[in-house]
Copies of this chain bind each other. A is one copy, B any other.
């Protein structure tokens, strides 16, 4: 069994880092608390005129590298390997790849270890990657091909409207997948 595991919103805490940066850089502006987030793309929940400020935050140097790990993720991946499951880190970089792409590698090396760097697949189209499950927080994942994997949602406030898929967190993944 091969499990593809997304990074942002699954292993790396994009939402908290974004909000912390937003509050620090724009304390006078409105914000959306994490529990109230309704859509996958943050820019859909903020006024259109804020867009350049949002982008500036997550395209900045060290943004990706400094994301905090989501609790239990590292332990879950190590547990999967102990159980003999194959694990692949399957993640889509920003179009603005300059910092995001190398920092995703640095993040994996720092938080999971050097061996895990070899397990990264960086792709904008996850339907091209073969696996049994894809654990991903994005509500809908499409691409060129019919995916081989079953998409299991990593539970996040912004994907709770989707009721058609299995969902899990790192505290119950074994119950859902095994």
Contact = CB atoms under 8 A, between A and B. Distances in A.
Interface of A: 2, 86, 88, 95, 97-98, 101-102, 105, 117-125, 128-131, 144-145, 148
A128 B124 contact: no
Contacts of A148: 130
Contact of A145 (B95, B118, B130): B130
Given A86-B144, A101-B102, A120-B124, 4 more contacts: A95-B118, A119-B124, A121-B129, A130-B145
A102 B98 contact: yes
Q: Which label, helix, strand, loop or mixed, suits the secondary structure of the A interface? A: mixed
Nearest to A130: B128
Contacts of A125: 88, 121
Contact of A101 (B2, B105, B118, B129): B105
Given A105-B101, A129-B128, A130-B128, A95 B123 contact: no
B105 A97 contact: yes
Nearest to A147: B130
